[in-house]
Amino acid sequence: MKKKQRLYQTVVLLPLGEEQNEKKKNWLSFIEEKGGRVVFEKMEKVKFAYPIKRESMGVRYVFHFFLPADVLKKYKLLFYMDSFVLRMMTVLLPQVALDYFKKKKLKELEKGQEESENMKNTVEDKAVSRINGNNIGITKDITDNKSTESTVKK
């Protein structure tokens, strides 16, 4: 019988170093071994507001994952037993949070596709103007949607 899985978020602060990727792989593999699945993961370098264990900068990992409730205590032990972890917090997320992140991810993908199409059109415009011998490079500013022209000297 399959156990009901819940959506959790874990935020982990680690000092800067080379062990980060190994630690992350261990945590993610533990989740997958116990029948869970990772929905979202993010890593960013941060400067702490105050020193934590004499560290002023570090890395913040954020994981969103599904996991059975009875496995959560074992999962937390991975972090508590590890002296490399500066801070750790795991919270239960409502289902609405997953829907929000799915919509946000779709918007990012659509925005990325639009930008790549705009860049492709800009490159084509430049190529056509050079082929025609105009010696004018036309560039399009994506943020302001303004066209600017600049004369190219030979």
- pLDDT one-digit tens code per residue, 20-41: 888 888 888 998 998 888 888 8
Q: Are strands 5-15 and 87-92 parallel, antiparallel or unpaired?
A: antiparallel
Rg (Cα) of the chain, in Å, rounded? Answer: 24
- Please compute the mean of the pLDDT values over residues 65-74 and round it to a whole number: 89
- 140 or 98, which is more confident? 98
pLDDT tier at 124, thresholds 50, 70, 90:
low
pLDDT of residue 106: 77
pLDDT tier at 51, thresholds 50, 70, 90:
very high
Nearest to 15 by CA among 88, 89, 83, 85: 85
* Domain limits for position 27: 5-93
98 assigned to some structural domain? no
pLDDT of residue 120: 56
28 assigned to some structural domain? yes
Domain CATH code at residue 19:
3.30.70.60
60 assigned to some structural domain? yes
pLDDT of residue 47: 94
- Please compute the mean of the pLDDT values over residues 53-71 and round it to a whole number: 90
52 assigned to some structural domain? yes
